[in-house]
């Protein structure tokens, strides 16, 4: 990455919440800074207490906090951290959200549903944040829910670099979207992966209590299939898709995602032998019990650290991903 910009960290401070302290520490190491001192604790009744233990008056403050499980706890902690910074006279407050919870509730698909993504965006804005820096939002429209600037960081580049090191022949590759909704994401990924061909898993239910019918659009016979998604939660969709790819003659199947939520029974499904490798990033912390032989965890710390520097120095962020 280019590092030619003038970097003055004197008025820049990075603080970490309790959601993913290891990633926050890696970001600070990349930036050549120490994490800011902050005291976060829970009272006996579950209330959250936050106190900054150093001055932030006139500083650009970056708060690193994923709203991962427990989502409500971590979201509330982030809001209280923002409030503490605002009341301590920070010049600018940027919330760095490697994983934005509630992003799936971004539209109404049925009557009388809430749009929780918009509600959470309002909460963050009203708490006093001046800018949001988020990784791989579930849908790009979520950026429009904020009334403050949003920098959207794409973790694809980290996964693409890793796949490039695997030296898989471009003639053997096919990028697969595990559902119709992820086609745009998979197409973008395929274009950057030597303009690889694209395949789509189409699943549909013809009626209540009728099993899903899965069809494959595209050719995967004898090829290395790379399934791309933004998150893996219970791994039901991606595991069924992988089984279909094997039925259709795929030689190997790789799964790639930015956000490894890994709700049960995800680990059982992912380690069942369907996948040659499951490639994820550390936007969410991965518990030790959730590691399995096929799992590869890539760090987005350098990417986020570089983005923070560029935001602080008023430089282009989008040029990182070109």
| Banded model confidence at residue 142, pLDDT cuts 50, 70, 90 | confident
pTM: 0.90
| Banded model confidence at residue 166, pLDDT cuts 50, 70, 90 | confident
Mean pLDDT to the nearest integer, 164-191: 89
Indicate if the pLDDT at residue 57 is higher than 90: yes
Tokens 């693409």 sit at which residue?
Answer: 160
Q: Whole-angstrom Cα distance, residue 205 to residue 214? A: 9
β-strand pairing of 131-135 with 150-153: parallel
What are the E-state strand segments in 75-149?
92-97, 131-135
Decide: 135 and 284 in contact? Cβ < 8 Å: no
Q: Whole-angstrom Cα distance, residue 121 to residue 126? A: 9
Indicate if the pLDDT at residue 285 is higher than 50: yes
The b/e string for 64-101 (b: 16+ C-beta within 10 A; e otherwise) is: bbbbbbebebbbbbbbbbbbbbbebebebbbbbbbbbb
Q: At what angle do helices 116-127 and 71-87 cross, to 10 degrees?
A: 20
DSSP track, 234-253: S-HHHHHHHHHHHHTT-SEE
- Provide CATH 3.40.50.2020 ranges for the chain: 12-153, 156-299
Q: How many CB atoms lie within 10 A of CB 8?
A: 8
3-state helix, strand, coil in the chain (%, to 5): 35, 25, 40
Residue 171's pLDDT is what? Answer: 83
How buried is residue 13: exposed, middle or buried, by Cβ count under 10 Å (0-12/13-18/19+)?
buried
Q: Whole-angstrom Cα distance, residue 133 to residue 131? A: 7
Indicate if the pLDDT at residue 209 is higher than 70: no
Tokens 């800018």 sit at which residue?
Answer: 131
For the CA atoms of the chain, what is the radius of gyration?
A: 21
β-strand pairing of 38-42 with 48-52: antiparallel
* Contact partners, residue 268, CB within 8 Å, separation at least 6: none
Residue 107's pLDDT is what? Answer: 85
User: How does the average pLDDT of the chain come out, rounded?
Assistant: 91
Tokens 């503490």 sit at which residue?
Answer: 84
Tokens representing 130 are 């001046």
Indicate if the pLDDT at residue 290 is higher than 70: yes
Secondary-structure class of domain 12-153 per CATH: alpha beta
CATH architecture for segment(s) 156-299: 3-Layer(aba) Sandwich (3.40)
């Amino acid at each position: 990455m280019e590092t030619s910009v003038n970097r003055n960290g004197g008025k820049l401070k990075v603080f970490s919440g309790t959601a993913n302290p290891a990633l926050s520490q890696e970001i600070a190491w990349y930036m050549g800074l120490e994490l800011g001192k902050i005291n976060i604790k829970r009272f006996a009744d579950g209330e959250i207490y936050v106190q900054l233990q150093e001055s932030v008056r006139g500083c650009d403050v970056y708060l690193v906090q994923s709203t991962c499980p427990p989502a409500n706890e971590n979201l509330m902690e982030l809001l209280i951290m923002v409030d503490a910074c605002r009341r301590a006279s920070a010049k600018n407050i940027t919330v760095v959200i490697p994983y934005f919870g509630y992003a799936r509730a971004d539209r109404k698909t049925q009557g009388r549903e809430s749009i929780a993504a918009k509600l959470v965006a309002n909460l963050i804005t009203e708490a006093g944040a001046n800018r949001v820096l988020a990784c791989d939002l579930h849908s790009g429209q979520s950026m429009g829910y904020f009334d403050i600037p949003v920098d959207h960081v794409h973790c694809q580049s980290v996964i693409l670099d890793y796949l490039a090191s695997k030296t898989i022949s471009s003639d053997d590759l096919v990028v697969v979207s595990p559902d119709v909704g992820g086609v745009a994401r998979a197409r973008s990924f395929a274009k950057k992966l030597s303009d690889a061909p694209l395949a789509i898993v189409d699943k549909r239910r013809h009626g209540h209590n009728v099993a899903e019918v899965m069809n494959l659009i595209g050719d995967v016979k004898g090829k290395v299939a790379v399934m791309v998604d933004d998150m893996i939660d219970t791994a039901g969709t991606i595991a069924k898709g992988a089984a279909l790819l094997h039925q259709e003659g795929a030689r190997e199947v790789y799964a790639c995602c930015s956000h490894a939520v890994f709700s049960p029974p995800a680990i059982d499904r992912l380690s069942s032998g369907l996948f040659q490798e499951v490639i994820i990033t550390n936007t969410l912390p991965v518990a030790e019990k959730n590691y399995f032989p096929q799992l590869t965890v890539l760090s987005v710390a350098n990417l986020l650290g570089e983005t923070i520097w560029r935001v602080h120095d008023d430089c282009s962020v989008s040029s990182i991903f070109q």
